[in-house]
Amino acid sequence: MRLAGKTACLLFLLILISPPFMNLFPEEESFFDDDIFFFEEFFIFEEMFSFDESMLDAETFLTEENLYTENLYDEEFYPYDESFFASDDLDDIFDDNSDYSLEENDFFFQAPTLVIEAPKFEIRSLDVVFPNLSIIQRILISSNEGFRNYFLKDESPMLIPNPDLEIDLLSTVMETNPSHLIEAMVLVPYNERELDLLDIYNALGRIEKIKDHPATIDGNDFYIFTESSRIESSRDRRAISDPPPAETLPFSETFYLRLRENSFGNLFFRGDISISMYGITYSMINFTDVRFFLLPIMRAERFITIIYLETVKEGLLIYSMSGFYLPNFIADRVNLNPNINRRIEVFLKWITEGLWLSQ
């Protein structure tokens, strides 16, 4: 009985899928695809249905009439959207005569032209850096000796840089609690060309040349420093040679140097260089005691000289601030201001000649 029932169902399905019965259904309402069709009976199995490769004919499935080939370029199947393809260059992709093809350029991206304008660097003038200079100060600054002024810790300096430019050497010097201060400034004219920060940096690196510059005493040249050299570190005080001129600027640098003179003997300093957009700051501070004819007169970290250098329109501006501490019983008996001033004069000459050699 069960066999007869199954036979009847099979005959019914064969009659149903025969060509006469298939023509009963309009093409637009057909339950069957032209190439692929499924039996509804397959979906009533308790186990999960899986395709068998023999049920699908690859040649039938991938035909030119199928959507995977010809319909990919059919505008009715993929309508053209102008809001998406806004660029005129992209319209040519669907042109048969275009050099573009989806086979060669499956993925493409056209970025807009990116234009970055670099900030313009303009050299500042002396009036911008020091807006309140008097006529007399301007004359002294432009002379060979420059402008120099001595004052005590409770007095005010005469040279006031523009506060908006953050060139505040005085605050750094006052951190060492000095008793005496010296400010100086000189404007070095350009020789053959304008100098840049790399020229300044290389001029400051010639430590061995400091000893070659004399100070003027009563109209005569007097060499204060008999030796000048870099040393390895604060502990290893072996002399080392100056490095060759640099080709690029560092952001900052720390080094050590030794200066030997007749009165104070060996002076050991730590040098620090920092570079900003417009100028270079060069500071030296003693990391050992200073002795005057074997008598200790100044402790370590109590003498500091800071030099700021910037190329302005009128020339190279060299501005320095120095501070040192002396106890009252020594300051009343020994006037070190002229001695410190002569050493500052040597530093200014050393920097100036090094800059002239760079031009």
Answer yes or no: do 342 and 241 share one domain: yes
Flag whether 145 is in a domain. Answer: yes
Flag whether 172 is in a domain. Answer: yes
Q: What is the pLDDT of residue 8?
A: 53
Query: Residues 6 or more apart from 263 whose CB is under 8 A from it?
Result: 292, 293, 339
Q: What is the pLDDT of residue 216?
A: 83
Q: What is the CATH number of the domain that holds 300?
A: 3.30.530.20
CA–chain centroid gap for 190, Å, is: 29
Nearest to 152 by CA among 189, 197, 183: 183
Flag whether 18 is in a domain. Answer: no
Answer yes or no: do 105 and 214 share one domain: no
Flag whether 9 is in a domain. Answer: no
Flag whether 266 is in a domain. Answer: yes
Q: Residue-wise pLDDT tens for the chain (359 aa)?
A: 554 555 555 555 555 555 544 444 444 444 444 444 444 444 444 444 444 444 444 444 444 444 444 444 444 544 545 554 454 554 554 455 545 444 544 444 454 544 434 345 689 999 999 999 999 999 999 998 899 999 999 999 999 999 999 899 999 999 999 999 999 999 988 877 778 899 999 999 999 999 999 888 888 888 999 999 999 999 999 999 999 999 999 999 999 999 998 778 899 999 999 999 899 999 999 999 988 777 888 899 999 999 999 999 999 999 999 999 988 877 777 677 777 888 888 988 898 888 877 65
Domain around 312: 126-358
Q: Compute the C-alpha angle 30/31/36, nearest 5°.
A: 105
Query: Residues 6 or more apart from 97 whose CB is under 8 A from it?
Result: none
Q: Identify the residue whose tokens are 């319909």.
A: 71
Question: Which secondary-structure segment (H or E) carries 180?
Answer: strand 180-188
Domain count for the chain, please give it: 2
Residue 211 amino acid letter? K
Q: What is the pLDDT of residue 95?
A: 53
Answer yes or no: do 147 and 66 share one domain: no
Question: Could you tell me if 113 and 299 are in contact, meaning their C-beta atoms sit under 8 angstroms apart?
Answer: no
Question: Could you tell me if 129 and 317 are in contact, meaning their C-beta atoms sit under 8 angstroms apart?
Answer: yes
Q: Is 265 left (phi over 0), alpha (psi -120 to 50) or beta?
A: left
* Residue 298 buriedness (CB in 10 A; 0-12 / 13-18 / 19+): buried
Answer yes or no: do 137 and 220 share one domain: yes
Q: What is the pLDDT of residue 120?
A: 52
Q: What is the pLDDT of residue 34?
A: 45
